[in-house]
Amino acid sequence: MLAGGGARGFAHVGVLRALEADGYRPAALVGVSMGAAVSVGYALREDWYPALLAMDTGAFPAPMPTAEQQRDSLRQRLRARRLGFRFAYRLLTGWGIGTPAREAGLQALRTLTLGQSLEDARVPVAVSTTDLRGGRRHVIRTGDAAEAVYASVALAGVLPPLERDGLLLADGAYADLAPVGVARDMGPPVVIAVNPGQALAGAEVRNGLQALRRATEVCNLSHADAGFEQADLVLRPTFRRTIDTLDFAARRECVAAGARVVRGHRAVLAALLDPEAPPLPADSPSAHHLVNRHGLAR
């Protein structure tokens, strides 16, 4: 199960490549947001690794200057103010700042998916989205692959949602960042989730708007953690710096983080996936979790 995370979702590419190098291949894939793009690209293409690295993300807006950049540069402060006004204007007059890029984004996804349907995938794949009208998760397993991925990556306020079968579909992370149950329903005996999220940093809260935004972040992350707990193993790539959701220039850095987390969990992965692997030592950090679920530690 590959979770969202914007640009950090390229860590999934590193995870899949490292797993394949160790002889493991997924029996099924469930993707959310950027995890959906990686899942579908992997499932539809034999050349998935170079295709995903070359994916055109130019349709997305550039990331907002960081607080540190704004402190150090008048130019960056002015740029942040200009982007903020543009963001607010596009929200009030349309679907968001990325509205003009909708068709370019869909075309990039058609290139990635080779114009195929989800039914053409070499392994079963499901894409998790959010139906804004119904207020619930909506899982797509059939039909146009590019449209399914677009729906799952359509960040509110950035890209317009997708109209499909009477539903209004947006980023899957809003309804369920960790649809582990969907993965279990697809049949694999072991569910491994990859969470490229970053820890919620401390922040000053000085007004009602900041309080509302902060409370929403805390709520979303708390629900996500509860969902990830249902997986047999959660791989959490660590990044050497804070990477913005829209910082797609950092994709190779994120790929490397994904490969590192697999290398750091080789013994745990073998205990879960290789019937001939020795049991984990009792003092392994993952032993308690795995013995409760599988009896793999002694």
CA atoms within 13 A on the CB side of 283: 0
Q: Provide the phi-psi class of 41: left if phi over 0, else alpha when psi is between -120 and 50, else beta.
A: alpha
Q: Span 99-120, mean pLDDT?
A: 91
Asked, for residue 294, whether it belongs to a domain, the answer is: no
Asked, for residue 14, whether it belongs to a domain, the answer is: yes
What is the CA 255 to chain-centroid distance, rounded? 13
Asked, for residue 69, whether it belongs to a domain, the answer is: no
pTM over 0.95: no
Tokens of 73: 């540069």
Residue 233 belongs to what domain range? Answer: 6-61+97-273
Task: Report pLDDT digits (tens) over 186-207.
Answer: 999 999 999 998 877 776 777 6
Contact 227, 266 (CB under 8 A): no
Q: In sequence order, what DSSP letters do the residues of 195-218 get, joined into one string?
A: ------------SHHHHHHHHHHH
Q: Span 265-269, mean pLDDT?
A: 95
Q: Span 105-115, mean pLDDT?
A: 95
Query: Exposed e or buried b for every residue in 54-79, given b needs 16+ CB within 10 A?
Result: ebebebbbebbbeeeebeeeeebeeb
CA atoms within 13 A on the CB side of 198: 17
pLDDT at 83 over 80: no
Asked, for residue 80, whether it belongs to a domain, the answer is: no
The residue with tokens 């990556």 is 153
Number of domains the chain is built from: 1
Asked, for residue 232, whether it belongs to a domain, the answer is: yes
Contact 180, 1 (CB under 8 A): yes
Q: Span 64-68, mean pLDDT?
A: 54
When pLDDT is cut at 50, 70 and 90, the band that residue 62 belongs to is low
Asked, for residue 283, whether it belongs to a domain, the answer is: no
The mean pLDDT value of the chain amounts to 84
Task: Write the single-letter amino acid at 200.
Answer: L
pLDDT at 290 over 70: no
When pLDDT is cut at 50, 70 and 90, the band that residue 296 belongs to is very low
Q: Span 265-288, mean pLDDT?
A: 75
Q: Name the residue with higher pLDDT: 46 or 104.
A: 46
Contact 96, 89 (CB under 8 A): no
pLDDT at 81 over 90: no
Across the chain, which distance is largest between two alpha carbons, in Å?
Answer: 61
Distance between CA atoms of residues 79 and 85, nearest Å: 10
Which residues fall within 8 angstroms of residue 118, CB to CB, at 6 or more apart?
40, 43, 125, 127, 140, 141, 142, 143, 144, 145, 148
Asked, for residue 231, whether it belongs to a domain, the answer is: yes
Contact 124, 96 (CB under 8 A): no
Q: Hey, which residues are catalytic here?
A: 33, 171
pLDDT at 106 over 60: yes
Asked, for residue 53, whether it belongs to a domain, the answer is: yes
- Number of H helices and E strands in the chain, helices first, is 12, 7
Residue 291, φ and ψ in degrees, nearest 5: -70, -35
Distance between CA atoms of residues 4 and 194, nearest Å: 9
Task: Report pLDDT digits (tens) over 159-187.
Answer: 889 999 999 999 999 999 999 999 999 99
When pLDDT is cut at 50, 70 and 90, the band that residue 89 belongs to is low
Task: Report pLDDT digits (tens) over 2-56.
Answer: 999 889 999 999 999 999 999 999 999 999 999 999 999 999 999 999 999 999 9
When pLDDT is cut at 50, 70 and 90, the band that residue 145 belongs to is very high
pLDDT the model gives residue 295: 45
pLDDT the model gives residue 58: 79
pLDDT at 75 over 50: yes
Beta bridge partners of 179: none
CATH number of 57's domain: 3.40.1090.10
